[in-house]
A and B are shown apart, each in its own frame.
Chain A
Amino acid sequence: ETGVTQTPRHLVMGMTNKKSLKCEQHLGHNAMYWYKQSAKKPLELMFVYSLEERVENNSVPSRFSPECPNSSHLFLHLHTLQPEDSALYLCASSQGGAGGDTIYFGEGSWLTVV
């Protein structure tokens, strides 16, 4: 138990569906992140939120839409995805945004696009 909880753990969706991934952190952290892990590729940073403001969008297609309603919750809204978007999506949090803090990851959400 890392203090970062992701739901659902597994999701299968069609290319025309709209779904959302949810992340909640119970650590009192100020920054939250979405990372993507595809087969045979290193983990890639997608989005960074610090104090509920997006501070980083790492050239992610618009079919991925993040939302951070407060410092404890982070969503990733998914629509009209492609099969190549199938991957493990990992949420993470840290105390601050200066880069020098330990980052804690959730258990991940396995996404399959059919």
Chain B
Amino acid sequence: GIQVEQSPPDLILQEGANSTLRCNFSDSVNNLQWFHQNPWGQLINLFYIPSGTKQNGRLSATTVATERYSLLYISSSQTTDSGVYFCAATGGTSYGKLTFGQGTILTVHP
């Protein structure tokens, strides 16, 4: 099955800094999503982005499907951005069989 790798595993920032999280995947995808997991465990959808670029406020994401990677950009980080960021992908015609990366643990200090 598809392999998903995320980097870096941990990231510590000061409030106001910018950051880039990376997701590499091993095969072509028809679904790629970025999630933020809050301290209570809920996975919050950030982007559905199998290809192209999207922006939502201080967050943006780019997926270059031909080169099998996706990037999540966080600008002007805030303490509320802390948590775990997951990239997950589905290849082929799988029924929502998202394969998750290991996640990036982001800590934003005031």
Contact = CB atoms under 8 A, between A and B. Distances in A.
B30 A100 contact: yes
Contact of B96 (A31, A88, A110): A31
Contacts of B91: 99
Contact of A42 (B44, B90, B102): B102
Interface residues of B, number: 28
Interface stretch (A18-26, A60-68, A78-86, A89-97): A89-97
A52 interface: no
A3 B41 CA distance: 16
B16 interface: no
Contacts, number: 75
A43 B96 contact: no
B101 A102 contact: no
A48 B96 contact: yes
A107 B41 contact: yes
B92 interface: yes
Contacts of B103: 42
Interface string B25-57: 000001101010000111111001010000000
B85 interface: no
A102 B90 contact: no
Interface of B: 30-31, 33, 35, 40-45, 48, 50, 86, 88, 90-103
30 contacts: A35-B98, A42-B100, A42-B102, A42-B103, A43-B98, A45-B97, A48-B95, A50-B95, A55-B95, A56-B95, A88-B41, A97-B95, A98-B30, A98-B93, A99-B30, A99-B94, A99-B97, A100-B31, A100-B50, A101-B96, A102-B31, A102-B33, A102-B45, A102-B48, A104-B45, A105-B35, A107-B40, A108-B41, A108-B42, A110-B41
